[in-house]
């Protein structure tokens, strides 16, 4: 809550109104705008087909809810497989991106070596290259090493757009952490590497966490490579699998589609909610010191 | 800085005597530096730089999927400039980016400020507002597709039933409105990221500063302008640049909602490039279209880098 | 659908015995010695076809063939646009699949990277009474067959007889003027018609080319290169479209493939152009869903009206694309032979309820047509197809124009008033010329 006010300081005339105006009203707006569609997705996922395609029925509530669409999703499609695949790819890609990107970010922030500025710029610049430009040559490169038709190709390719991002984020973050503690440790006898591993990385945990979360989400959502580099149905990720099995020629199965959308996001959001508090407290530890 | 205690530290002399080449390696700034960035550089050289130059080669040729084609110099670019569809796409992309980023900025900062207050269910709200960002793009887009549907739009239903309008909007039918609709959905996806990132910056601001300003007599808006905004600016700018980059090269939303229609009113460079390269098989032309995205993004990145460099000269 | 395996074997042998004039390159049985293909792989990219049994029959065929030949066969399915992307990716890298379902343009765009299957095509033609012209146009490049046509998906006018009658129209109009008149009446009654004018890869073609050609317009001259779109015929087509657009249900310029289905199934439009999926969907649910039953009972299919230059239609033709990069050419051929064999193709066609109809002249007298009277018209529709690119053959230039939705946009621009009909035609001409110029080297 607001800090106690000194006498004479600004005092609102009606704290209740102020709260409604500045907190509850905007909150309602944001919730409706951001989360409203998910409510609607839920309704659609629970609506039987007869209600769904009846233009005269209200889309805002469901008269006779049914779990048929969810059941269809689990029984008649490979949804569970796709979630597992997407999870695996996202997790591994994120892990690789962090293992490669965090030390690189540290090096760019802390260590002076010839060409570091150039390397830093070059890494950031690769981030700009759009996927639509790269993906045909990329598929050809993967084909030439025989990796063009497997889900493991994604684990190799995703880091190409995750690593620059992580490096960038972490180098900025490390710059805001004072190097004093590491200098101390080095005087104590730790090597630079040791200082990085034992001092800097633990301090950077919030930053690493946020880099990890962002990377996971970016992997979770990727579509073009997931389509072109994977063929086997059993190896597909959610975006690709859903389209093929939940649409049939010119017919979309809206019920299961929305069920899939919910199941593909709500659990992840729940997991994220725990981390949001954690990393938010320290992402820009040094921002204030500026 | 602080005093270093040697209590518990291993005997320094044995350590220094045991210095091996390996510890030289990990101790020297130079070699450790190279060592740590080497994997990244290698990955990017092989999987980004190399395909990138191959793609440039494509853009300078008339290659198609079936035919390797010949070198044609800048002809693709010249033809693009003469194409009304391309020019319209460029215009669309800028409007799309500017509009979406503006919305993300305003709503993202607003939401961040909101989430910085404490209120009941804050935790739940923080989780809930992440949903647009988490839901796989293709599925979220399909949900909006159905919500904008000319015949079944739930949005139009609400508008009409509540008496606000007689007919609903032609969300995806009217060319101008369609562009707005796609950028709205893009903003919808991006607001959570902006909000969470700015929130992190807000939470790093010590309360004492707020208290101090309150004592000085600053009102809510003044507090925001003179305390909050300057301190959150670095994080905000970073999030802003990232958002611009992501929005400018966005593909999934337009592809899912309109495939570039109606009448190319919503084509952005990424979707046009995809349609040209894959659907028509014109790899050369598709690559050229993608390449034209780079100058803009490059300018942005350089500006951001300069800013970072300036801020670290401390 | 899934026969007992031994039965399948037996009936195949019976057929062989009975087929007196079985040609040497036998399509009656895939007679492969166990072992010649053993250990090889075959990957097939297919779409998710509307009628479920057409998909399961393909799977069963693959399974049977795999068992008989020792090949490892995989059928991987992708939805419409994704299938196209996947195919393009295989063409581009030369890896990933051996066969794919494509559309007729793919034959032309990818000709250099497809296997020559002329001998197979000739056998199939001989077996089934000859290929129709549209089939030859779809799969022959430079006199050689580079793909094998699977069939076309005819799109008919789906119309609500009850709504039409209520508006005073008893039969589906047979002239364009009649259709315009009907549209006016239906609009006045609150039950408008609608045609897809959005970037729909399926329906986007079936509603535009027929109008263009019926009024005498065409895209190219016979050489396939000279752009001929700017003509009085085209202008007449555009003007007709612009007039009838006022009476459409709003929103058609944003319609993607599922939208006209959804609108019709929700009784929001009284007529639209679509394949038989609307009817099949209603029929399937009629037993349990009163609304669907209502639609089934009150809808029918009709042919395109006849215009000044004739009666035309345009459908997607699906083809089997045999990739030249495939390491298993023998396997490709065995699969194709199995597909076109007498034990498979007629049955598969019938099961599809005229969703896909092979363009084989002999089928007209065979038992491959649905019993349902409301689906009978598709048999006639099968005969009037013309391919985009007319007056020339379907070329990569024509393909590119289709993929860029130039024609759709031309009509849409005029209808919405963004451009006058004359300007819209001029715009289209410019776009076509640009494409032709760019492709002039290939």
Domain CATH for B132: 1.10.3720.10
Indicate whether C247 belongs to any domain.
yes
Indicate whether C6 belongs to any domain.
no
Nearest to C199 among B64, B260, B278 (CB): B260
Say yes or no: A121 and A258 in one domain.
yes
In chain A, which residue ranges form alpha helices assigned H by DSSP? Answer: 15-19, 25-30, 36-46, 49-52, 68-76, 79-110, 116-126, 131-144, 152-157, 159-175, 180-187, 192-195, 201-203, 205-221, 224-228, 238-246, 254-263, 266-280
Where among A66, A92, A127 does a domain terminate? A66
Higher pLDDT, A267 or B254: B254
Return d(Cα A7, Cα A140) in angstroms, integer: 72
Say yes or no: C374 and C281 in one domain.
no
Kindly state the tokens that stand for B226.
């003179």
- Beta bridge mates, B61: B71
Q: Is the CB of A250 inside 8 Å of chain C's CB atoms?
A: yes
Question: Span B91-114, mean pLDDT?
Answer: 94
**A288 pLDDT higher than 70:** no
Contact (CB, 8 A) for C349 and C141: no
**Most trustworthy range by pLDDT among B70-74, B239-243, C318-322:** C318-322
Indicate whether C426 belongs to any domain.
yes
Say yes or no: C334 and C399 in one domain.
no
Sheet containing C148-153: which strands, arranged edge to edge?
C72-78, C41-47, C99-103, C316-322, C148-153
Kindly state the tokens that stand for C377.
């018209």
Question: Span C233-248, mean pLDDT?
Answer: 94
Return d(Cα C362, Cα C3) in angstroms, integer: 26
In this complex, do C110 and B260 lie within 8 Å of one another by their Cβ atoms?
no
> 3-state class of A233 per DSSP?
helix
Q: Which of residues 66-85 of A touch B (CB under 8 A)?
A: none
pLDDT at B151: 76
Indicate whether B74 belongs to any domain.
no
> 3-state class of B264 per DSSP?
coil
Cβ-Cβ contacts under 8 Å for C395 (sequence gap 6 or more): C108, C220, C224, C225, C389
Cβ-Cβ contacts under 8 Å for C431 (sequence gap 6 or more): B83, B84, B85, C401, C404, C406
Contact (CB, 8 A) for C200 and C174: no
Number of folded domains that form chain C:
2
Query: Residue B192's closest CA among B260, B253, B274, B134?
Result: B134
Say yes or no: C141 and C211 in one domain.
no
| Residue A215: domain span | 72-280
Distances (CA, A) of C216 to C205, C234, C317, C401: 17, 7, 23, 19
CA distance C410 to chain B (A): 8
Say yes or no: A187 and A160 in one domain.
yes
In the predicted model, what is the mean pLDDT of chain A? 82
Return d(Cα B171, Cα B179) in angstroms, integer: 9
> 3-state class of C300 per DSSP?
strand
Where among C325, C345, C379 does a domain terminate? C379
Q: Is the C-alpha dihedral spanning C189, C193, C198, C201 positive or negative?
A: positive
| Residue B121: domain span | 83-312
Indicate whether C182 belongs to any domain.
yes
Indicate whether A7 belongs to any domain.
no
Say yes or no: A221 and A258 in one domain.
yes
Indicate whether C12 belongs to any domain.
no
pLDDT at C22: 39
pLDDT at C75: 94
Q: Diameter of chain A by CA atoms?
A: 77
Higher pLDDT, C343 or B241: C343
pLDDT at C1: 36
Give the DSSP H/E element, type plus range, for residue C309. none
In this complex, do B47 and A138 lie within 8 Å of one another by their Cβ atoms?
yes
Which burial class, exposed, middle or buried, applies to C4 when counting CB atoms under 10 A from its CB (0-12, 13-18, 19+)? exposed
Chain C residues whose C-beta is within 8 A of a chain A C-beta are 43, 45, 47-50, 52, 74, 76-80, 82, 85-86, 89, 92-97, 202-203, 257-258, 260-262, 265-268, 274-275, 277, 281, 285, 288-292
Say yes or no: C346 and C405 in one domain.
no
> 3-state class of C72 per DSSP?
strand
Nearest to C253 among B259, B262, B285 (CB): B262
In this complex, do A139 and C89 lie within 8 Å of one another by their Cβ atoms?
yes
Kindly state the tokens that stand for C347.
């049955």
Question: Span B108-134, mean pLDDT?
Answer: 87
Say yes or no: A51 and A172 in one domain.
no
pLDDT at A197: 84
Where among C379, C406, C423 does a domain terminate? C379
CA C77 distance to own-chain centroid:
18
Q: Is the CB of A223 inside 8 Å of chain C's CB atoms?
A: no
- For chain C, the first-to-last Cα distance in angstroms comes to 46
Quote the percentage of chain C above a pLDDT of 90.
Answer: 46
State the Cα torsion A284-B184-B87-C197 to the nearest 10°.
150
Number of folded domains that form chain B:
1
Contact (CB, 8 A) for C65 and C30: yes
Return d(Cα A127, Cα A138) in angstroms, integer: 15
Kindly report whether the global pTM for this prediction surpasses the value 0.80: yes
Kindly state the tokens that stand for B293.
């995205």
What is the ipTM, given to two decimal places? 0.82
pLDDT at A148: 74
> 3-state class of B210 per DSSP?
helix
Number of folded domains that form chain A:
2
Q: For residue range C96-149, what is the model confidence (pLDDT) as tens digits?
A: 899 999 988 889 889 899 999 999 999 999 999 999 988 888 899 888 999 999
In the predicted model, what is the mean pLDDT of chain C? 86
CA distance B215 to chain A (A): 6
Kindly state the tokens that stand for C353.
């309820």
**C259 pLDDT higher than 80:** yes
Return d(Cα C441, Cα C125) in angstroms, integer: 34
Return d(Cα C243, Cα C355) in angstroms, integer: 31
- Beta bridge mates, C102: C319
Neighbours of C153 (CB within 10 A): 25
In this complex, do C251 and B70 lie within 8 Å of one another by their Cβ atoms?
no
- Indicate which CATH number applies to the domain containing A149: 1.10.3720.10
pLDDT at A277: 65
Q: For residue range B66-90, what is the model confidence (pLDDT) as tens digits?
A: 788 889 889 899 989 888 889 999 9
Return d(Cα C284, Cα C268) in angstroms, integer: 20
- Low-confidence winner among A180-189, C143-152, C247-256 (lowest mean pLDDT): A180-189
The secondary structure of A58-100 as a DSSP string is -SSS-SS--SHHHHHHHHHS-HHHHHHHHHHHHHHHHHHHHHH
Say yes or no: C160 and C241 in one domain.
yes
Indicate whether B140 belongs to any domain.
yes
| Residue C333: domain span | 34-146+316-379
Say yes or no: C113 and C262 in one domain.
no
Contact (CB, 8 A) for A252 and A53: no
- Low-confidence winner among A283-287, C110-114, C301-305 (lowest mean pLDDT): A283-287
Indicate whether A288 belongs to any domain.
no
- Indicate which CATH number applies to the domain containing C437: 3.40.190.10
Kindly state the tokens that stand for B186.
């893009």
Indicate whether A217 belongs to any domain.
yes
In this complex, do C250 and B259 lie within 8 Å of one another by their Cβ atoms?
no
Return d(Cα B58, Cα B63) in angstroms, integer: 6
Say yes or no: C88 and C123 in one domain.
yes
Indicate whether C25 belongs to any domain.
no
Higher pLDDT, B223 or B16: B223
CA A191 distance to own-chain centroid:
34
Where among C345, C379, C413 does a domain terminate? C379
Return d(Cα B178, Cα B214) in angstroms, integer: 46
């Amino acid at each position: 809550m607001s800090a106690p006010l000194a006498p004479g300081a600004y005092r609102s005339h009606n704290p209740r109104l102020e709260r409604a105006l500045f907190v509850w009203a905007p909150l309602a707006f944001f919730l409706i705008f951001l989360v409203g569609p998910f409510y609607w997705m839920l309704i659609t996922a629970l609506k039987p087909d007869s209600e769904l395609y009846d233009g005269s029925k209200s889309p805002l509530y469901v008269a006779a809810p049914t779990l048929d669409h969810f059941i269809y999703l689990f029984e008649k499609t490979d949804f569970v497989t796709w979630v597992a695949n997407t999870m695996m790819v996202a997790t591994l890609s994120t892990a690789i991106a962090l293992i490669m990107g965090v030390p690189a970010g540290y090096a760019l922030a802390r260590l002076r070596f010839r060409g570091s500025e150039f390397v830093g710029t070059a890494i950031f610049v690769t981030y700009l290259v759009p996927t639509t430009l790269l993906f045909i040559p990329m598929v050809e490169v993967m084909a030439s090493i025989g990796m063009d038709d497997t889900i493991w190709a994604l684990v190799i390719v995703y880091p190409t757009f995750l690593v620059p991002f992580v490096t960038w984020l972490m180098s900025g973050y490390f710059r805001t952490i004072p190097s004093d503690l590491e200098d101390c440790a080095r005087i104590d006898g730790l090597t630079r590497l040791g200082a990085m591993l034992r001092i800097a990385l633990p301090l950077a945990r919030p930053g690493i966490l946020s880099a990890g979360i962002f990377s996971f989400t970016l992997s979770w959502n990727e579509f073009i490579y997931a389509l072109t580099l994977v063929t086997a149905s059993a190896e597909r990720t959610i975006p690709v699998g859903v389209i093929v099995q939940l649409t049939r020629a010119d017919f979309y199965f809206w019920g299961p589609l929305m069920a899939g959308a919910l199941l593909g996001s709500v659990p992840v959001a729940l997991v994220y909610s725990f981390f949001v508090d954690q990393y938010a407290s320290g992402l820009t530890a040094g921002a204030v010191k500026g | 800085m602080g005093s270093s205690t040697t209590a518990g530290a291993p005997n320094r002399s044995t350590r220094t005597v045991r210095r091996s080449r390996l510890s030289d390696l990990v101790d020297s700034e130079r070699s450790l530096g190279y060592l740590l960035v080497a994997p990244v550089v290698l990955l990017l050289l092989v999987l980004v730089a190399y395909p990138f130059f191959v793609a440039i080669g494509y853009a300078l040729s008339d290659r198609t999927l079936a035919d390797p084609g010949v070198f044609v110099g800048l002809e693709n670019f010249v033809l693009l400039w003469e194409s009304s569809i391309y020019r319209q796409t460029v215009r669309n992309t800028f409007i799309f980016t500017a509009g979406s980023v503006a919305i993300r900025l305003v709503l993202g900062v607003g939401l961040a400020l909101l989430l910085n207050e404490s209120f009941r269910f804050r935790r739940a709200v923080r989780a809930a507002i992440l949903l647009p960002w988490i839901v796989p793009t293709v599925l979220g887009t399909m949900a909006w597709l159905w919500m904008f549907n000319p015949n079944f739009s739930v949005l139009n239903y609400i508008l009409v039933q509540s008496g606000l309008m007689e007919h609903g909007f032609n969300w995806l039918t009217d060319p101008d409105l369609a562009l707005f609709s796609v950028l709205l959905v893009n903003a919808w996806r991006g607001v959570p990221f902006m909000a969470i990132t700015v929130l992190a910056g807000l939470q790093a601001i010590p309360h004492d500063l707020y208290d101090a300003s309150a004592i000085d007599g600053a009102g809510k808006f003044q507090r925001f302008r003179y305390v909050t905004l300057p301190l959150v600016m670095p994080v905000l700018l970073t999030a802003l640049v990232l958002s611009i980059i992501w929005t400018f090269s966005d593909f999934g939303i337009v592809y899912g909602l309109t495939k570039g229609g109606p009448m190319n009113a919503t084509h952005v460079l990424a979707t046009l490039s995809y349609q040209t390269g894959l659907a028509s098989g014109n790899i050369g032309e598709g690559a050229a279209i993608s390449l034209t995205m780079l100058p803009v993004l490059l300018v942005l990145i350089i500006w951001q880098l300069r800013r970072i460099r300036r801020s670290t000269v401390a | 659908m899934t026969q007992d395996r031994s039965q399948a074997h037996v009936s195949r042998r019976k057929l062989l015995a009975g087929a007196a004039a079985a040609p040497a390159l036998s399509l009656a049985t895939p007679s492969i010695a166990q072992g010649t293909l053993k250990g090889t792989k075959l990957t097939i990219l297919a779409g998710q076809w509307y009628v479920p049994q057409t998909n399961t029959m393909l799977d069963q065929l693959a399974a049977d063939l795999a068992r008989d030949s020792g090949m490892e066969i995989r059928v991987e399915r992708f939805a419409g646009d994704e299938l196209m992307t996947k195919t393009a990716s295989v063409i581009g890298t030369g890896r990933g699949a051996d066969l794919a379902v494509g559309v007729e343009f793919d034959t032309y765009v990818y000709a250099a990277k497809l296997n020559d299957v002329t001998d197979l095509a000739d056998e199939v033609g001989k077996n089934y009474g000859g290929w129709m012209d549209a089939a030859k146009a779809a799969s022959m490049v430079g006199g050689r067959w580079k793909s094998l046509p699977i069939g076309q998906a005819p799109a008919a006018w789906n119309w609500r007889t009850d709504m039409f009658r209520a508006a005073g129209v008893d039969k589906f109009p047979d002239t364009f003027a009649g259709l315009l008149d009907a549209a006016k009446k239906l609009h006045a009654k609150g039950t408008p018609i609608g045609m897809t004018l959005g970037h729909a890869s399926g329906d986007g073609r079936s509603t535009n080319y027929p109008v263009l050609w019926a009024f005498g317009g065409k895209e190219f001259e016979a050489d396939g290169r000279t752009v001929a779109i700017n003509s009085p015929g085209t202008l007449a087509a555009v003007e007709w479209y612009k007039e009838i657009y006022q009476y459409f249900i709003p929103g058609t310029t944003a319609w993607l493939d599922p939208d006209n289905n959804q609108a019709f199934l929700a009784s929001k439009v009284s007529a639209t152009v679509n394949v038989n999926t609307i009817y099949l969907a209603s029929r399937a649910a009629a037993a349990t869903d009163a609304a669907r039953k209502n639609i089934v009972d009150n809808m029918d299919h009709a042919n395109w009206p006849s215009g000044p230059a004739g009666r035309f239609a345009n459908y997607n033709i699906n083809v089997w694309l045999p990739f030249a990069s495939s390491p298993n050419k023998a396997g490709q051929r065995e699969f194709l032979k199995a597909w076109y064999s007498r034990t498979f193709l007629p049955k598969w066609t019938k099961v599809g309820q005229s969703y896909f109809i092979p363009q084989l002249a002999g089928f007209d007298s065979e038992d491959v047509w649905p019993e349902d009277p409301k689906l009978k018209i598709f048999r006639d529709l099968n005969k009037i197809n013309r391919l985009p690119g007319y007056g020339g053959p379907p070329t990569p230039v024509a393909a590119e124009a289709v993929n860029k939705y130039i024609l759709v946009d031309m009509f849409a621009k005029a209808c919405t008033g963004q451009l006058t009909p004359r300007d819209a035609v001029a715009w289209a001409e410019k776009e076509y010329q640009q494409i032709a110029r760019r492709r002039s080297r290939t």
